[in-house]
Each structure stands twice: as structure tokens, then as C-alpha cells.
Structure 1
Amino acid sequence: MAGRATSERTRTTRAAVSPTDIRNVVLVGPSGSGKTTLVEALLAHTGTIPRAGSVTEGTTVGDHDPAAVRQQRSVALSVASVLHDGIKINLIDTPGYGDFVGELRAGLRAADAALFVVAADEGREGRINPATVAQWEECAAVGMPRAVVVARCDGPRADLEATIAACRESFGAGVAPLYLPIRIGERLTGIYGLLSRTPPGQAPPGAREARAELIEGIIEQSEDESLMERYLEGEDIEFATLVADLETAVARGSFHPVVPVCAMGGIGLDALLEVLAGGFPSPLEHPLPPVCNIDGSPRESLSADPDGPLAAEVVRTSADAYVGRVSLVRVFSGTLRPDSVVHVSGHPAWGQTAIPRQRGADHSHDDDERLAHVHVPLGATLHEVDAVVAGDIAALTRLGSAETGDTVSAADDPLLLSCWDLPEPLLPIAVTARTRGDEDGLVKALGKIVAADPTLVLERNAETHQTVLWCMGEAHADVVLSRLRSGGAAGSGIGVDTEPVRVPLRVTLAAPGRVTGRHVKQSGGHGQYAVCHVEFEPLPRGSGFEFVSAVVGGSVPTQFVPSVEKGIRAQLQRGLDDDHHPVVDVRATLVDGKAHSVDSSDAAFQTAGALALREAAAVCGTLLLEPFDEVCVRIPDEHLGAVLGDLSGRRGRVLGTEADTPGRTLVRAEVPCTELLRYAVDTRAMTSGTATFTRRFARYDVAPAG
């Protein structure tokens, strides 16, 4: 009997038939808070898997090693589903480490509500970790409804009451417990429902006051204005009314219920499932992303209608050694069916970044492809289904052109969903193939990785001749390099080394001077003859190059004046030293010269112009220029002194500070780019992961001697 029930339950969790029966819940929280353990406990508790941990095991599309799958899931979002009272709950597990905020934002895009997981010992010092608060702010920034799970309530350092109080202090007054712990001595034996007052007769101390505070918080969000008056007059508000108003308050993002859970002991799991199924919004209640036609023309807003136009979005791309590319998609509108032709549209905007460099993948594309199979995911396992309706999450295999962020729509009615905001990767890592035989493999592997991870930027620097990966941090870089070297699911397995990142420098002239460029050669037959007298002078930073002709009397024929300019410009790009740094911020004035009626030519005067600039380097002297970026750092006020001191140590010039959000300060500074190569790592360590910063090119200025 139990075996049949488990089999049936597993089968029915594979696909939903209506958006009203779906809840998409993203689990958010720092590493070590217990998110993955909670997901596996819910799967085992509902009979979806035979035991906790099995979500990473079993028969998958590629028969992966369980340990490798678990490591992969720790740095990438994964999806598994449970069924509760006829409601399919898609649990989207996201990485907790700050380097993988891109995966978190993808999870938020796929979800309709967030379950914030906080360890029960996190509030022992009276405050929530600032990195945890930063993740809460990520959720708040996109208006995501949130509830809080206090996990590991039976741990040796657990302090549920202190953690709830710390959550309220850090997250706001909308945080309120739905349940209180029931203890025998120091041992946690269950939880007490404040709304349902169950189990009867086991109300812990303080339950009456906590229930009153909870009800008042819920009623404040009610659309029934008479409800508060009735409650204050002593009326016992119906349980069903309170639950309905609770769902409204959660959906608005103004009320955040707290559920204590002991995943390993099974305590609180039923209560949590009730909250997810009954208190969280369905896809019908969550706003959909704006949509337009693929030519950018406006289009009517979509709704989560299975019969509407097909609109799905790729929220994650991975590679399997057996089936190739696997695209995890959220279906916003319409229905995905096997053996149908779909249109895959990429985003031109995702090919642009704040720093002027180029993404390695072409995110602007339009392709028609036929779907062979449609699956729903259970961790690493994919179950084939006949259809996936609006509001649900699907996995598509062998969708060759699809990249993370792409829109999947009907081939006869293509459209484009607006993309979500991407964090800017700010840690550069220069990579090089270990051998010549690895060069082609490196190019192909980089293309696959960048297509799957939009937070990774690939730069091929024409000046330094380096291939640079811009990553979110050291952990992100380690994962990317590991995938390149081991091959991972993509099967690349190539030799890759790293080298120090080189910053492009510039050269300018130190002083004005007049020089002569002379190119005279006679080797029998047609010779070469060109002489030009040029005055060079340095210009203010950022002026570029100016060319002026002050020739009188035709000493340099008119047709050869542009030749002199062309020769100087070519030498500016080639540089004046062995490092070939381009020359900038110079004015060249052609004042005189000589020509020969037979031997002068365009090529001769180009060479003479180039020689004039090289001579100017010896006469005028040169200065080495380095690039400066304008950096904007947002930090908690407590770290302001440390950040200002660090910027000064990096030869930075602070432009000013100003108040940002409450408790945070914005610092603006100009810093040499050579001092920013590891700033993403250092500033995270300096501020416990609470600082964010942006950078953009400001100018070139004189580099220190030596």
C-alpha cells in the first residue's frame, strides 16, 4: 500500500494541469543555513524520494556521480517538486555564496515567492549576518513575497526566540511567527500553530500574546476594513478568513510569516507545506515580465493562461554528457508540448556591460527549433511529460541555440520577454591554453560556459593579447576553471593555465619639440624621397590626437599632407617602445618639408611621418599613462573607515561620500585600474560580503615612475 502511494505521488508531482495548482518557491539563504537539507527532507517527507539525499541519486539523464551532482548543485540552482493537498510546489534551491548572486536572481525570476532559510543559531548575537540581510534585500528589490524558515531548531546552539527577534530587527516589523516551539525540558518535540491553536492543550508560554500580535498584523493587511473593529470588539475571527488574509499579506510582500523547522527530525515540515500551499501566491497572482515582439514593438501584457501565447524563459543552461544542452525554463504563458516547433530569441542588451568589453557569447539571435521531449526536473533526474502549462517549470533537452535568458515562444507567434538585471562581474582572470592542441578546445569550451552563465564575461583584449574571464569572485572563478579543466558535464577536459592580468597602458609626449622625419633611399631605378618637419606638443588628458597642416609655399605637395598624417597615426597605434603602448594626447603640426618630383610618393611620406613621431620620442621625452576607473562603493556605515583607508592605499582619490539607503554610505573615488584587479575579493573580505561596487572608465593619467 505504501509503495503504491509513493509511486502515485511521485507520478502526480511530475506535471500540473492548471496554474492555480502550482506554487513556485525559491529557497534563499546563506551557505550552511540548511536549504538543500530542507529540500531533501520535504521530498522524503512527501514520499517524492525514498529518503533524504536521494534527489542527487537515482537514474538521471546522464547517470552522474552523486557526489559530483551535489557539488554542482551547491553553486547552481536546481528544481525539485512535491505534492501537497493537490498543489504542486516547485522548490528552487539556490546557492548561498555571494559569488553566485546571478543564480539567485535567476531563481527569483523563476519563482513567485521566496522562502528565506535562516539557521536557528544565527540570532544568538542579536543580529542577522549582514550577508544574509544583503540576500533579503535582493528579494525585496524585485518585490518578491517572502516567508522565513528558521532551520535546525534542534541544534546545540539553536536559539529560536533570539533568531526570530533578530529577523524582525533586520528584516522589518512584518516578520511574525506562525508557530512556536513545544519543548520538554530543552528538547524540541513539536510546534504550536498560533492561528489554528493546535495541538490543543500544548500552547507554550507566551502563545496568547504572540497569537494576538500575529492576528493584528494579518488583519492590518486585510481588504475587509471592518475586520479590525470586529476583532477589537472581541469577536473570534474565523480561521479560514485569517488564512485568506494571510495569503493576501504575503502576496503583497508586506508580511513575512516565520515557521520553525527541524528537517532531520521531521518537525515543522507539515506546517511548512501548509504555508507553501495555502499561504503563498500562485502564478496567477504574480506579475509577469513585460513582453514585446522580437522587433521591439509593443505587445499586450501576458497572463498565466495555458491557452495563451507561448512565452517561456531559459533561467539556467547546463550540459549533460549524454543528451547535450539542458535548458531549464519557466513557462509564463501558454503550454509547452513535445514535437512542437518553437522560436528561441536572445537579448541584444545582454551583450553589453557597463565596462567597455565584449561578452563571449552572442546573446542576440533568433532561431526556430523543434522540441523532441519536454521534461519536469527532480534535481538531477528528468521525467518526460506530455505537456507543461503556464506557471510551471520544465526542462528542455537538445535545444541547441538556447542560452540563459533566452525567450522560448511559438514559431508562428515569436515574442521576447524583458531580461532580468545581471550583476556585473568585476574579478578578471586571464586564461591561456596549456598547449597548442588545447587552443581550439579552449575556445569552444569558453563559448559553452559563457552561454550557460550570463554573469561570466569573456574579453579578448586586442592590446594585451590576453583572454580574460570576468568573474563574480574567487569561488566563481574556481568553478569556471574546474569546469574547463575537468570537462564537467560538457566534456571539454582541456589544459588551462592562468597568468597575471595585464592592464593596457598608454604613452604621451612629455614636452613640445620640433623634429624632422626623413625618408630618403636611392637603390637604382625609382627611389623614395620624403622630408617633413613636424612640431609635436602634448595635449590635455583625453584629447586624443590632432593633426594640423601649416605648410606654406608648397614645400610639401598638397596630395602628400594626408600621407604624413596617416603615417603618424599608424605609428601612434604601434607605439614607441618594445611594449607597443599606443601614443595619445598629442598634437602634430606639419610646418615644412621637401619633396622630389619623381621619387616622392604616398608611401614615402607615410614613412617620413612615422619616423618624425619616433624622433619626437627622443627629443621630447615620454610619459607612461595608466587607466583610472571611477569606482562607486556602497557599504554599511560601520565599514566606512576601513574602505576609505583601503582606497587611499590603492592610490585612489576619493571624490566624495553621500548617504545611500539607511545605514549605508556611497563612496565615489578614482582608482588606478592596476589597483582594482582583486578589489572584488578584497572588498568582500573587508566588509564581510556586505559591500557592492561598480566601476567605469574615467581617464588616463601619469603612472608613477618605476
Structure 2
Amino acid sequence: MERFTTGRIRNVALLGHSGSGKTTLVESMLFAAKAINRQGRVEDGNTVSDFEPEEHRRGTSLQLSVVPCVWQGTKVNLVDTPGYADFAGEQASALRAVDAAVLVVSAPAGVEVGTELAWQRLREAGTPTMVFVNKMDRDGADFEAALGQARSALGRGCVPINFPIGAAAAFSGIAGVLKGDAPGDMEAALSEAKEQLTEAVAETEDQLTERYLEEGDLPLEDIERGLRRGILDRQIAPVLAGSAITGAGVADLIEAIIDYLPSPDRAGERAASVGGEEISLPANPDGPLAASIFKTAADPFVGKASYFRVLSGTMRPNQEVFNSTRNESERVGQILVPVGKVQESVPDLAAGDIGVVTKLAHAVTGDTLTTRTDGVQAPPLEFPEAVYSVGVHPKSQADLDKMSSALSRLGEEDPSLVMRRNGETGELVVLGMGDTHVDVMAERAKRKFGVELDMRVPQVPYRETISKTTNTEYKHKKQTGGHGQYGHVLIRLEPRERGAGFEFGAQVVGGNVPKEYIPAVEKGVVKAMQEGADGFPMVDMRVVLYDGSSHSVDSSGASFEIAGSMALKQGVRAAAPVLLEPIMRLQLTVPESAAGAVVGDLNGRRARINGMTPQGGVAVIEAEAPQAEVQQWATSLRALTQGRGTMRLEFDHFGEVPSHLTQKIMEATAAR
């Protein structure tokens, strides 16, 4: 592929609700640009941007894909993203790589949940955006309705710059608002749309406002200049129509991307830092090298492929660069340009362009490649919080041997997956965005690394404590040939406040238990507490050694350790043991209309609602709930809120398990 200067590059992400036609639109744009000879179909599994077997099987995008096309000398890097909420992390990665976005809306369905969520992410990221109303050829397509929904849900800045001619079976083409090429029966609608567009443009600059008020109109060059400024400042989101299937309106979309969306050198300087000091980084090909890795692909044969955006400078092949995030040197070999799953070699990439390097030794997603002299570092990539948990187990010994390595590689590929070992249960727990997210992870582990995983509801790290004070005595006495064993202790068990932890004390008088054996008693007590009375670690209690006896010949540290251990086990039964469970703190943001259903569902999960605050159409709910009830609740929340609810989840404290559930938990634990 040829070289492109920074001003002749556009980096654009496609976002929208799942099924709105993003992947088909990418395919149609490639076909229009003559980058492919035949337009593929999602249903046939032969599109350029959906190339993973898991995507073919499900008929939907599961990861971002970079596909460039060239239109009249300008390179447009299209970044196709999944619309399904479980893969929101891919959208976060994509937005690091681009300067603008196209929000795809289905004309028959209108603005959907995924549309609103994508718009919210674009607003938070400050990404200039166009809206493309797709599927105008489908039954039920209604551009006016979709436009009205967009203006209502996304803002009054959504103004059309072209209109469809007809709809559904009668859809025959596109009429431009500024081109004056409308059929006679559409002149009034386009005239009104031009007036709306002119008013929106006039509001972007004081000079344009004055001119519009004085003259009642603006010349075409002022409208186009103001439109670019309004898009860049996120005051205007132009709306276009078309059909990715028929291709109508697709060339208009590409031209609008090139004409109105910013090139990297006009998109504004990027935030970065050098030595902890914040700087602004212009997209200057002659500036200091800085490239941000926004995606990693794990391949068991080729190795690691790192997708990067050149923020500044020029990336050249066969050079040593500095990973300023890891403080490590990296060797760059070939510079490649991704075209879906295919990669083409290029001589270099200027600031603003997107490329791939393979086999970097240390780099992961979010890292910055620079030179040791410059030391530039881009801000860290932030991913949505993973709130759906599964316990992961190998299906065989062969799988066990490969599991850790495979999961580590998959975690590099998808940083929105969080993997941690539970120190109490010993179980490996994977957290993702939802059940589909972790299912896809398991499928990839099998396909890429030959590892079969068994995924279960995670084990809950229960604990035990006592609820009343008791005294207990245990004498360990064993006589064999030669020296025997003798250790005799009297201990007191006392409950402590929740979270106070364990404390051991000695109040022995008269030397009945020699001082040198007291640490052995404590060691035995601590060892017995690890398994408790019912197999769970014990916490929040004080054990006091207050008396005992010893034998001048048979006593030893080992004997008193056994005595301490057995005394604790014996005493716990008499001290009214209770089971404790981890309680999680939840912060939920849900539509006000769904708040009642969400609270009702939480109440059925033994939750305690601490507060609910309305905030502009949504309710923020603060609650506490047992981990056992909410570790896979993310899917229920999605159903209760039609996908509009979000959740933050973190450990808060341990609380007492209701007595009627204790036996059931004991039986389930014993059955493992």
C-alpha cells in the first residue's frame, strides 16, 4: 500500500446497535472504493472485517477490525466495532485509534439501546460524529422517524445533509441538501432541511451568526466551513441516509467523511506526558515518535500482533523503540497495515496512520512506543468494569498444563477480561462483561490454544466465626516406647467485632504451660482456624490460653501444637459458630422507569438498598448484596433495564449468612 501524508488520512470508527449493519456498511464502502471485487455478506461469513470463526458462527462482530479504503487519494481507516454490550471494551480500544465516528442507525428500528450507549461513549470521548441511517431499502424504513428519534435521544445537533428518495421497495437514491439535486416532490423538504442546517452552522461562530441574521442565509463555502467546525466542536452531528446492501448513499457517506470529518492534524492535539509532566502532542510526522497500542491479537503460530496508532512522528521498520509504559526496549520489524485479517507491508507510517507490528517482547494494549530520548507516554486506556464472574477449570490434565498460558494470552488480547486467583478457594476466576463475553473467551481458548475449559458459578469464599464466649480444655496424651507425648491446654474463645480479625493471648500463671510451648499452642490454634468447624477459615475471634499442664519428659512443642489445634476445634462447636459471606457494594445507574423492577429483583437476592437518587431521567441506586447473589447478576440487570443499566461492584465486608441457608451451603460445599 502507498504512503499517505497525515492530511490525507481519516480514522473513523463505526459504532451502533448490534444488527444495525455496521459490518455490511464497511463491506459496501470497500466495494464502492474498489478495494474488493465482490461484496461479502455477514450471513455467508465472507466479509473482510468479520473474519474470526466465532463471528461467523454467531453472525455478529465480536472484536474491532481495521479496514482501510482509498477514495480519490485519501486513505480512510475504517474501524468496525461490535454492537453487543458484552464487547464494549472493543469500542473503548477503537476510540483510542480514531479521530471521528459514524454512528449507524437502522432505518426500520430507529434509535435503539446500543445507539444510545454508543452515543454516550462518543460524547464522553469527545469524538466528532456523523449519523448514518442505514437499511433504507428494508420494509418499515422511515427516515423521518429515525431522524426525529435521533434528535430527541441524541440532541438537536443531529441535522440531515441528505435525504433518501423513497423508502423500502420504493427507495431509489439520495438527494443532497446542499447539492440542489432534489426531485420536484422533495424540494420543500430539502429547503426546510437546508434552513435547519444553515441555522445550526450559524450557531457555531459569532461571525456566521451575525452574517446569517443580517442576510438570512449563508453562502455554500461558509456553510461547509461552519459544518466542519460544528462537527469538530461536537455541536453538529450530520445525518445521512442510505443502504449498505444496495450501495445507495455509500459513496456520499465516504465523500462526507473526507470533506467534513477531521484529518489527524486537524482533530486537535493529543494529551500525553513526558516524565510525569503533561504535554500536548500534535500529529506532526516530523515530531517525536509516539505510537499508542490500542489492540493486541494473540496467534499461537505467528505470535503477538500489536495494533497501533501513530500519534506523532513516523514509524519506520527495523528499528529499536522504547516502550515508555514498561520502561523496556522493543525491536520493531516489518511495519504492516491491517486489512481485516490480511496484513500488507509498508515502508513507513506517518503521524495519524494505523498499523501493526508483530512479536514485540513486552508490549500490551495501552502501551506507548517512543524513543528513549523522547520518553513520550499516552494516557492509559480505560475499559468498562467487568462484573460477570465465572470459575474456570481445565477439563483434563493436558488442559491444566496449558490453561494458564492460554488465559494469559487471551487476557492480553482482551483487557476487559479480568483474571484472578481466589486466595481462599484456590479457584481461578474470570470476570467479563457478560455470559457471551466469557463464552467467546472459552471458544477462543479451545480454537487457538487447544485448551478446553469448564466454566462454573464461582465458589464463594465463606468464612466462619463464633457468636459467644466459651471455655474448653484438651489434653493430648500418648504413650509409646521411649518418650511419650503430652500437652494439656485450657483456652477461652471470645467473639470479636466484624472485621477485627484474630488475636491470641496467654494468661497462664505459675508456669503450668512453660513459656517455650506457648508459641506452639498458638501455631496449633492458627492451623485449626484455617479449616474451622465446617471447612471454612475462621475470623474475628480472640483465643486466650489461660491454663494447662506439662510433663517434664513427654511434653514438646509438637504435643502442645496438637493440643491447641484440637482444643480450638472442640471449643468452636460450643461457641455457637456462624457462617459469614462476602457482601458486595453495588452502584447501579438505571432508567427511572426500571428502578422499581431493579429494586424488587435485588430485594429477592437478599440485598439492602442504601439509597436511590434520581439524576436527569436515570436513578442511581446504592445497595449491598451477598456475592453469591450478584456475581452473575449482570445478565439480569441487562434484561431488567433493556440493556441501559450499568453496575459497579466491589467487596465491602463479611456478613452473617441467614441460618436457614447455612445447611444448604454446607452440603453444597461438601459435594464439591
TM-score normalized by the length of structure 1 = 0.88
Aligned equivalent of 2:208, options 227, 249, 262: 227
1:406 equivalent in alignment to 2:393? no
Residue 355 (structure 1) aligns with: none
Range that drifts further, 86-95 or 460-469: 460-469
Do residues 671 (structure 1) and 632 (structure 2) align? no
Give distance in 1, aligned partners of 2:167 and 2:109: 23
In the other structure, the counterpart of 2:412 is: 451
Choose the corresponding residue for 2:461, options 457, 479, 504: 504
Q: Corresponding residue for 1:91? A: 78
What's 1:6 paired with?
none
Q: 1:49 aligns with which of 8, 28, 36?
A: 36
SS in structure 2 at match of 1:204: helix
Per-residue deviation, 1:69: 6.7
Residue number in structure 2 paired with 1:8: none
Alignment of 1:563-582 (within 5 A): 563-577=520-534, 580-582=535-537
**Which piece of structure 1 moves more, 201-210 or 374-383?**
201-210
> Is 1:640 equivalent to 2:598 in the alignment?
no
Is 1:562–2:516 an aligned residue pair? no
1:251 aligns to 2:232 (yes or no): yes
Pair 1:421 & 2:369 matched: no
Work out the CA distance in 2 between the residues paired with 1:103 and 1:671: 30
SS in 1 for 2:171: strand
Q: 1:366-377 residue pairs with structure 2 within 5 A?
A: 366-377=327-338
Q: 1:625 aligns with which of 571, 580, 583?
A: 580
CA distance in 2, matches of 1:627, 1:342: 46
Q: Distance in 2 between matches of 1:57 and 1:406?
A: 32
Equivalent in 396, 410, 433 of residue 394 of structure 2: 433
Q: Distance in 2 between matches of 1:80 and 1:276?
A: 15
What CA distance in whole angstroms lies between the structure 1 residues aligned with 2:57 and 2:324? 31
Change (3 A) 1:647 1:701: same
Greater alpha carbon shift after TM alignment, 614-623 vs 331-340: 614-623
Contact 1:57/1:66, CA 8 A, preserved across alignment: no
Q: 1:456 to 1:226 in 2, by over 3 A?
A: closer
Deviations 1:321-363 (A, max 9, x none): 65322211111112111111123355xxxxxxxxxxxxxxxxx
Provide the C-alpha distance between the structure 1 equivalents of 2:318 and 2:58, rounded to a whole number of angstroms.
Answer: 33
Q: Aligned pair in 2 of structure 1 residues 525, 302: CA closer, same or farther (>3 Å)?
A: farther
The DSSP-based 3-state class of the residue aligned with 1:153 is coil
Q: Describe the shift of the 1:431–1:66 C-alpha distance in structure 2 as closer, same or farther (beyond 3 A).
A: closer
2:261 matches 1:280:
yes
Report if aligned partners of 2:270, 2:282 keep a CA contact under 8 Å in 1.
no
Query: 1:281/1:59 Cα in 2 relative to 1: closer, same or farther (>3 Å)?
Result: closer
Equivalent residue for 2:113, pick from 103, 106, 130:
130
3-state DSSP of counterpart to 1:205: helix
- Say if 2:29 and 2:250, in contact at 8 Å, map to a contact too: yes
Q: How many angstroms does 1:194 deviate by?
A: 1.8
Match of 2:506 in 1: 549
**Matched residue SS, 2:281:** coil
- Contact 2:139 2:168 survives alignment (8 Å): no
Indicate the SS of the match to 2:246: coil
Indicate the percent of aligned positions where both proteins have the same amino acid. 38
Q: Distance in 1 between matches of 2:286 and 2:210?
A: 43
Q: In structure 2, do the counterparts of structure 1 residues 71 and 683 end up closer, same or farther at CA, with 3 Å as the change threshold? A: closer
CA contact (8 A) 2:533 2:573 kept: no
Q: Which residue of 2 aligns with 1:611?
A: 566
1:29-70 CA distances to partner (integer Å, 9 max, x unpaired)?
01110111111111111112222229986999xx97889679
Q: Offset of 1:252 from its aligned partner?
A: 1.0
State the Cα distance separating 1:606 from its structure 2 match.
2.8
Alignment of 1:580-619 (within 5 A): 580-619=535-574
Structure 2 unaligned segments of length 5 or more: list them. 664-672
Alignment match of 1:106 (pick from 78, 86, 93): 93
* Equivalent runs, 1:49-448 vs 2, <5 Å: 49-53=36-40, 74-123=61-110, 128-183=111-166, 187-198=170-181, 203-222=186-205, 225-234=206-215, 236-287=217-268, 290-293=271-274, 297-298=276-277, 300-320=279-299, 322-344=301-323, 346=325, 365-411=326-372, 413-448=374-409
Paired position in structure 2 for 1:20:
7
CA distance in 1, matches of 2:310, 2:447: 33
Aligned-residue CA RMSD (Å): 2.6
* 1:303 Cα offset (Å): 2.0
| Structure 1 alignment gaps of length 5 or more | 1-10, 347-364
**Matches of 2:457 and 2:211 in 1, distance apart?**
70
Q: Sort the Cα spacing of 1:210 and 1:627 in 2 relative to 1 into closer, same or farther, 3 A.
A: same
Q: Higher mean Cα deviation, 687-696 or 423-432? A: 423-432
C-alpha displacement of 1:668: 1.3
Q: Is the 8 A contact 2:103 2:115 kept in 1?
A: no
Asked if the contact 1:22/1:88 (under 8 Å) is kept, the reply is yes
Letter in 2 for 1:517: Y
Q: Which moved more, 1:524-533 or 1:239-248?
A: 524-533
Q: How big is each residue's C-alpha offset from its partner over 1:288-324, in whole Å with a ceiling of 9 and x where there is no partner?
A: 554345xx63354322121222221221111346532
Q: Look up the equivalent residue of 1:534 and give its one-letter code.
A: I
How far has the Cα of 1:482 moved from its partner? 0.9
Separation in 2, partners of 1:450, 1:169? 39
Distance 1:301 1:373 in 2: 29
- 1:472 counterpart letter in structure 2: M
Which residue matches 1:34?
A: 21
**Cα separation, 1, equivalents of 2:349 and 2:210:** 45
Aligned residue pairs: how many?
658
Report the Cα distance in structure 2 between the residues aligned to 1:682 and 1:286, rounded to whole angstroms.
40
2:298–2:410 Cα contact (<8 Å) kept = no
CA change 1:252–1:398 in 2 (3 A) is: same
CA distance 1:300–1:59, shift in 2 (3 Å)? closer
- Cα distance change on mapping 1:291 and 1:72 into 2, 3 Å: farther
Q: Output the amino acid matched with 2:529.
A: L
Q: TM-score by structure 2 length?
A: 0.92
- AA of the residue aligned to 1:206: A
Contact 1:180 1:204 in 2 (8 A): no
Post-superposition CA distance 1:509-548 (Å, at most 9, x none): 1321001233333434444433222111222222211223
Q: 1:397 to 1:57 in 2, by over 3 A?
A: farther
Q: Which amino acid aligns with 1:234?
A: E
